[in-house]
Copies of this chain bind each other. A is one copy, B any other.
Amino acid sequence: MNAPVELLPRIAPRPLPAAMLEALKAHFGTRCSTARAVREQHGRDESPFDVPAPDAVVYATSNEDVVAVVALAQAHGVPVIPFGVGSSLEGHLLAVQGGVSIDLSRMNRVLHLHPEDLTVTVQAGVTRRQLNDALRHEGLFFPIDPGADATLGGMSATRASGTNAVRYGTMRENVLGLAVVTASGELVHTGTRARKSSAGYDLTRLFVGSEGTLGILTEITLRLYPLPEAVSAAVCHFPSIDAAVRSTIQIIQMGVPIARCELLDIHAVRAVNAHDHLGLREAPMLLMEFHGSPSGVQEQAETVQQIASDLGGEGFQWATTPEERTRLWTARHHAYFSALQTRPGCRAVTTDTCVPISRLAECINDTVAEVDASGIPYFIVGHVGDGNFHVGYLIDPTAPDERGTAERLNRQLVARALRLEGTCTGEHGIGLHKMGFLLDEAGANGVALMRQIKHALDPHNIMNPGKIFTW
């Protein structure tokens, strides 16, 4: 789908100087490609935007490689855009001003695993599944799960979260330190392996969520967690989405340390039933997971079951073996792609608002009423324990009316979330699509502060230009 022109920032590609390309080819040989297929693969993500591909792609295998590309880019005034697996949702890695895509997927080594300190340092191209495979025999895991098998570099750059964040926090809380190549082509290390520090400005958290606009993350030091002694998952069906949401609110307000608390609305449940023949009751559903000691898990589960029952929740199904849990979580993991298949040829425009937990029922109920009235097919899934949910508007990409309606609904939803003291993006980031929403949320003076930092750290605007805010 082409995004409506008015949604895209003004695109002003800078031509790639021949001298820069020659220098890249000389340095990287076959690891520098200008093949159309390679460039196009690095010029799209899961966003609906269609912009020209980058001028070249370099496959980095070391910090020194990244330093070399950035130093050349700085000398020639050429944009550089980091690329992991291309799973970003907001156009983060699109070459809106041309330039060089630096593919970090070959920087995929787990560098230093310290099970005794519950820390690990990985190269930016390691994906979360690869990391968890490397950790399993140590009895440890890294909980942040944004759905896609994204790289830890990409997850850090977008401040990702996902299903386990309600208990374990987001990338914000779980990145201890970074190696970053700055715009001047220097390798800087931020943070330490200590759990806390008051040593100067929090550069680590400035780079986490900066979407490649301040530097390229090449190594990430993360907090790990012991695999819980006991894990139990459950689904519960509710007479209304409101009842499901109100149960969630009470669970959080009671302080239950629930590990996952995911909502699927009736449309999402129908879609996964059709796709995976799961035979789930076609009603709004919460999917939950509890981590802890066996008795702790039981205690949490009993509290939650009581809350849900009081609000009309029924049909509790429990899963304690890994196989049973996988079956239940299939519903959540397949929701997006199952929903796409309910309307052949459609595309999803996805929202990402997050509000304080007490406002969640109001936010979702008003949104449902609005989208129901619009006639656009949709589904809702959400990390509701955090107050975060996604509406997927399933639009016909050839029908401009539908596209316009979806964007209007999105704007109304964001305005509602901001009014309820929430955010336009819980976990996807700003990228290209939400630059206007960021202005609404952070205010002109908040965005001006961000811009001052960008100008100071990247004075020639070569680091992933055209994202988050205008230059």
A346-362 interface code vs B (CB 8 A; 1 in, 0 out): 00000010111111000
Q: Is the CB of A442 within 8 A of B199?
A: yes
**Does A365 interact with chain B (Cβ within 8 Å)?**
no
Q: With A205-B172, A296-B299, A446-B189 in contact, do A197 and B354 touch (Cβ < 8 Å)?
A: yes
Question: Which B residues are CB-close (under 8 A) to A173?
Answer: 169, 173
Q: Is the CB of B387 within 8 A of A427?
A: no
Q: Is the CB of A202 within 8 A of B206?
A: yes
A386-401 interface code vs B (CB 8 A; 1 in, 0 out): 1110000000000000
Question: Which B residues are CB-close (under 8 A) to A359?
Answer: 117
A323–chain B nearest beta-carbon distance, Å: 25
Alpha-carbon distance between A160 and B117 when the two chains are bound, in angstroms:
22
**Top 7 closest A-B pairs, CB basis?**
A456-B456, A116-B358, A226-B255, A197-B423, A205-B205, A117-B356, A193-B421
Q: Is the CB of A190 within 8 A of B386?
A: no
Q: Chain B residue with minimal CB distance to A292?
A: B296
A-B contact pairs, 19 of them (CB 8 A): A116-B249, A118-B357, A159-B197, A169-B173, A170-B196, A182-B445, A186-B445, A193-B356, A193-B422, A195-B386, A198-B423, A198-B426, A199-B425, A200-B442, A200-B446, A201-B206, A226-B254, A226-B255, A455-B456
A203–chain B nearest beta-carbon distance, Å: 6
Alpha-carbon distance between A254 and B227 when the two chains are bound, in angstroms:
10
Q: Report how many residues on chain A are interfacial, defined by Cβ distance under 8 Å.
A: 88
**Does A429 interact with chain B (Cβ within 8 Å)?**
yes
**Does A188 interact with chain B (Cβ within 8 Å)?**
yes
Alpha-carbon distance between A182 and B446 when the two chains are bound, in angstroms:
10
Which residues on A are within 8 Å of B, measured CB to CB? Answer: 114, 116-119, 158-161, 165, 169-170, 172-173, 182, 186-190, 192-203, 205-206, 208-210, 214, 225-226, 249, 252-255, 293, 295-296, 299, 352, 354-359, 386-388, 418, 421-430, 434, 437-438, 441-443, 445-447, 449-450, 452-453, 455-457, 468-469
Q: Is the CB of B449 within 8 A of A194?
A: no
Q: With A192-B441, A438-B199, A457-B453 in contact, do A357 and B422 touch (Cβ < 8 Å)?
A: no
Question: Which B residues are CB-close (under 8 A) to A192?
Answer: 418, 421-423, 441
Alpha-carbon distance between A197 and B114 when the two chains are bound, in angstroms:
29
Question: Which B residues are CB-close (under 8 A) to A428?
Answer: 198
Partner of A199, one of B190, B193, B424: B424
Q: Is the CB of B426 within 8 A of A197?
A: yes
Q: Is the CB of B209 within 8 A of A387?
A: no
A237–chain B nearest beta-carbon distance, Å: 25
Q: Is the CB of B425 within 8 A of A197?
A: yes
A257–chain B nearest beta-carbon distance, Å: 8
Q: With A190-B446, A296-B299, A456-B452 in contact, do A199 and B356 touch (Cβ < 8 Å)?
A: no
Question: Which B residues are CB-close (under 8 A) to A352?
Answer: 198
Alpha-carbon distance between A381 and B210 when the two chains are bound, in angstroms:
38
Q: Is the CB of A117 within 8 A of B358?
A: yes
Question: Which B residues are CB-close (under 8 A) to A442?
Answer: 189-190, 199-200, 203
Q: Taking each of A169, A182, A200, A357, which has the highest tally of chain B beta carbons within 10 Å of its own beta carbon? A: A200
Q: Is the CB of A203 within 8 A of B387?
A: no
Q: Taking each of A196, A205, A209, A253, which has the highest tally of chain B beta carbons within 10 Å of its own beta carbon? A: A196
Question: Which B residues are CB-close (under 8 A) to A206?
Answer: 201-202, 205-206, 453
Alpha-carbon distance between A114 and B189 when the two chains are bound, in angstroms:
39
Alpha-carbon distance between A418 and B193 when the two chains are bound, in angstroms:
10
Q: Is the CB of A356 within 8 A of B426?
A: no
A354–chain B nearest beta-carbon distance, Å: 4
Q: Is the CB of B205 within 8 A of A202?
A: yes
Q: Is the CB of B194 within 8 A of A118?
A: no
Q: Is the CB of B438 within 8 A of A196?
A: no
